[in-house]
Amino acid sequence: MAAPLVYADGAVITYNTATGTIAPTTGLQLDGLSLSAAVPETVINTPTISGLHLVTVYIRIVNPASGGASPSSTLGPATVFFTCADCLIPVTLITGMLLQDGTFSATNSDNTTNTCLSGSVVVNALAGDPIAITLGYASSAATTTAECAATLTSAAWNALAIGLRTSGTAVGGASTQESAGATTLTVAYAPTAGNCAVLSFNAGASAGTVTVKDNLGNTLAAGPTSGNLRAFHQYPVPSGVTGYTATWTTARQASLVVEEYSGVTAVDITLAGNTATGSSGTAAITVTPDEVTDTVVCMFGNVSSDTMTGSIGNQRQQTLGSAVTAPITLMDSMPAAAMKYSYHVRAVFIGALPS
């Protein structure tokens, strides 16, 4: 006859007064941190006594899937495998789990850092046959295209894109604009030597020839052009740069923005489809980077007082359009990344059934 359930070393155990034996005093635990693949069938415990075991599962996203317009990921299901001690046949059991919103499901596709699955199941497992588990996983992998978009009211817009081969990220930047009409404009910013500076210039009307130099007199490389919107870059940035000056032929209202990127090893200004124009309320550009791990920098501009606000991608710089008819929004589409998650699984012996 078995005595009531007790706790020892954090596990539920029983003591059999007839034989003087106790069940295992510790549960078996599996842990995985920042995984980006499904967990194949893995043994949690091989029972030495036939009876009831409590299997608990906790899974949580630590990095949601990212990249593109609609990244996605799915946690689960958690599937338990064991041999039933009553019927002596193998059993496959998908565990019902609690989601963060209080509902139950076998999977969770919310794709946020709040996404989790938590649950438990009691199995009547046969001694000598293992209890095992699998954890399902699905995630949008790195995409082959990069997309950025900005919204405005109705003014015609232009868009540009350049690709950066980089293992780094956006560091910071600055912006400035000219409302009176001029032929020169300076943005003060001191990037780190060796990094890459990406600049965009926009004018309220045709400005003629445009050049950009740093404060040391170095002329920046020109990138693609769309309407009055132009791209420039400097890689690698030399030591001592504290700002950039754009000069042009015809006095115009204008904007100039700069964003710095670390870890860059190459710049591609010739991506297919790297310019776009339109007149709808959403400005968008989609290009195929050279590598799925590249960062694509997108620049949007128009020739009205309509400010453009990023809607897809990461907005880095923005000049307002209220007093200047040459606003710019600089964004980027960072490399897409698959979801990563952590899990904890524990199997605890509850007690043997009456013989």
Same domain (yes/no): 150, 207:
yes
The residue written with tokens 């599937």 in the block is 79
- pLDDT reported for residue 355: 60
271 lies in the same domain as 327: yes
Q: Clarify whether residues 153 and 39 are in a common domain.
A: no
The parts of the chain modelled with pLDDT lower than 70 are 1-28, 67-69, 141-145, 334-336, 354-355
The pLDDT value given to residue 225 = 97
Predicted pLDDT at 69: 58
Could you please report the per-residue DSSP string of 234-299? ESSPPTT--EEEEEEEEEEEEEEEEEEESSEEEEES--TT-EEEE-SSEEEEEE--SSTT-EEEEE
1 in a domain, yes or no?
Answer: no
Beta strands in 68-130 (DSSP E): 73-83, 90-94, 97-98, 104-105, 116-125
pTM: 0.63
Q: What pairs with residue 23 in β-bridges?
A: none
Tell me: do 85 and 32 sit in the same domain. yes
Spatial contact of 317 and 309, defined as CB atoms under 8 Å apart: no
284 in any annotated domain = yes
Q: Which residues partner with 346 through β-bridges?
A: 29, 56
Q: What pLDDT sits at residue 20? A: 59
In this predicted structure, what is the pLDDT of residue 49? 84
Q: Is residue 308 part of a domain?
A: yes
Residues 177 and 189 in one domain: yes
Count the Cβ atoms, other than its own, within 10 Å of residue 298. 33
User: b or e along 97-113 (b: 16 or more beta carbons within 10 Å of the residue's beta carbon)?
Assistant: bbbeeeeebbbbebbee
Alpha carbon separation from 236 to 56, 241, 261, 267, 270 (Å, rounded): 53, 11, 10, 10, 18
Same domain for 247 and 206: yes
What is the end-to-end Cα distance of the chain in Å, rounded? 9
Q: Does residue 133 sit in the same domain as residue 198?
A: no
Same domain, 319 and 205: yes
- Residue 209 falls within a domain, yes or no? yes
In this structure, are 155 and 116 located in the same domain?
no
The total number of structural domains in the chain stands at 2
Containing structural domain, residue 173: 146-333
Residues 125 and 256 in one domain: no
Comparing CA positions, the residue from 311, 334, 278, 309 lying closest to residue 163 is 334
> pLDDT value at position 9?
42
Q: What is the pLDDT of residue 161?
A: 96
